[in-house]
Amino acid sequence: MLDLLRKKHALWLVIFFGSMSLPQSRERDKLLDFANIQYRHLKWIAKEIVKSGQDFDWNRDSIKLSFSHSRELFEALLERLRQIGSGYPRGALFDRIRHDEEYMIWSLEHFELDVALEAFSKKLTYEGLDQKSLEALVRFLFEEIYKEYELILTYTYSQLHTDSARLGLIFEDLIYESMFHLKSFCTIAAKLGILSVPRVVMEEVYKFDDLKKFLEDGIAEELAAKEQCKALSSAIKNEELSRFFAFINYQEDYHITLMQEALEAMNDRLT
Mean pLDDT of 30-49: 98
270, pLDDT greater than 70: no
* Bigger pLDDT: 88 vs 27: 27
3-state secondary structure the chain: CHHHHHHHHHHHHHHHHHHHCCCCCHHHHHHHHHHHHHHHHHHHHHHHHHHCCCCCCCCCCCCCCCCCEHHHHHHHHHHHHHHHHCCCCCCHHHHHHHHHHHHHHHHHHCCCCCCECCCCCCCCCCCCCCHHHHHHHHHHHHHHHHHHHHHHHHHHHHHHCCCCHHHHHHHHHHHHHHHHHHHHHHHHHHHHCCCCCCCCCCHHHHCCCCHHHHHHHHHHHHHHHHHHHHHHHHHCCCHHHHHHHHHHHHHHHHHHHHHHHHHHHHHHHHC
Predicted local distance difference test score (pLDDT) of residue 269: 64
- Candidate from 26-30, 87-91, 236-240, 245-249 with smallest mean pLDDT: 236-240
Mean pLDDT of 261-270: 77
Domains of the chain by range and CATH? 1-121 (1.20.1260.10), 122-271 (1.20.1260.10)
Predicted local distance difference test score (pLDDT) of residue 228: 78
Mean pLDDT of 144-156: 95
The string of pLDDT tens digits covering residues 151-191 is 999 999 999 999 889 899 999 999 999 999 999 999 999 99
| Total-model pTM | 0.94
The string of pLDDT tens digits covering residues 205-235 is 999 888 888 888 888 888 887 787 777 777 7
